[in-house]
A and B are shown apart, each in its own frame.
Chain A
């Protein structure tokens, strides 16, 4: 077992087989730097619980194909990313910090899926982006491909 500590000082025990899906921790263990508790100063306990839930489920990913559990994993992944927008950000950043490639891909894909039909205004709001384009510049982009800004799928809500 490997002990992980979140930035709000909560400790979690995780099986080594699960935790080595994190390249960062795998390297620490291989280098012999993981003898006691591994502090994770960038991750809070709420996010860490989510990450550990993912790691435990994906522990035998390689075997899933053989045992026909692929659908089960797919379903888990779909449920897993069904979280709040801010929470998703936290998991993306934790996955990046811990270097868990599959989790990073999963969460970024979910973010992309949520954004793709959003209106420009909604995207700016969701990502806290200030528009620094002039009205003319903006109009020019719209005129270039007006069809991309139209359609019943365009969603102006911000969640």
Chain B
């Protein structure tokens, strides 16, 4: 060989190659140099990496997660470290997107869990936003808001008042802003509330909330009405 000097690969090619390296290796490679650390931590790089891995035709990055009766999680027959110290049978997975898993343990302990890099984040508690002096039930949803590039949790509380009326309050948590706020209140008895959270490819604009409600005075007809609501999650402050 005429030259045995290893050519120095331009940065552009390093990016191309690192986009094809699995997340665990990327965590390790953050240690290689300052420029690698910057590159791998760059949200744009992360987003591109995510897109490439989720477009993998062979679905080799897809995992099925099971929950044992003890509350622990296993994925394809391998134990994975649960982010919860004391998972219970009441712990359940509300939803998962891009490897992020929203776990419901109890109202005081909502958790977002990135099982790939083994990191969990405790979300601000919904307890304060919920009315406790009444009977109520909650529905939870977790999704990706493509228009804002943000992961969001929606908690809907349906309150039954003493006088027989109902109120429904929608709370939303934004991962980007790391804040929780009430975005809407409805009067009415929602017998069923379905939350279809922004499936990435389907929902291009903010949130689409589809619910079915029955008129309180609808009587025997029990007519189900279908309504659609679109939230711009940015309205009403950060």
Chain A positions within 8 Å of B, measured between CB atoms, are: 85-86, 89-90, 92-93, 96, 104, 108-109, 111-113, 115-117, 120, 123-124, 126-133, 137-138, 141-142, 144-145, 147-149
Contact = CB atoms under 8 A, between A and B. Distances in A.
Interface string B32-49: 111011000000000000
Interface string B4-48: 101111001110111111101101111111101100000000000
A141 B37 contact: yes
A90 B118 contact: no
Nearest to B15: A108
A89 to B, nearest CB: 5
A93 B13 contact: yes
SS class, residues of chain A in contact with chain B:
helix
Contact of B7 (A86, A104, A112): A86
- What 6 A-B pairs come out closest when comparing CB atoms? A112-B20, A148-B27, A116-B25, A145-B27, A148-B28, A111-B17
B7 A132 contact: no
Contacts of B24: 148
A85 to B, nearest CB: 7
B31 A108 contact: no
Given A133-B37, A145-B27, 13 more contacts: A89-B9, A89-B13, A108-B13, A109-B20, A113-B20, A116-B25, A117-B25, A120-B32, A123-B29, A128-B6, A147-B118, A148-B24, A149-B31
B17 to A, nearest CB: 5
Nearest to A119: B28
Contacts of A112: 17-21
B117 interface: yes
A129 B17 CA distance: 15
A6 B12 CA distance: 24
Interface residues of B, number: 30
Contacts of B20: 108-109, 111-113
Interface string B101-130: 000000000000000011100000000000
B25 A130 contact: no
A10 to B, nearest CB: 14
B17 A115 contact: yes
A21 to B, nearest CB: 18
B11 to A, nearest CB: 11
Contacts of A145: 27, 117-119
Contacts of B21: 112, 115-116
A123 B18 CA distance: 12
B33 A116 contact: no
Nearest to A117: B25
B27 A129 contact: no
B118 A129 contact: no
Contacts of B6: 85-86, 89, 126, 128
Contacts of B32: 120, 123-124, 129, 131
Nearest to A133: B34
Contacts of B37: 133, 137, 141
Contacts of B29: 115, 120, 123
Contacts of B8: 127-128
A90 B7 CA distance: 8
Given A89-B9, A108-B16, A142 B31 contact: yes
Contacts of B9: 89, 92-93, 127
Interface string B175-200: 00000000000000000000000000
Contact of A132 (B16, B34, B119): B34
A90 B4 CA distance: 12
A120 B18 contact: no
B25 A133 contact: no
A128 B222 CA distance: 72
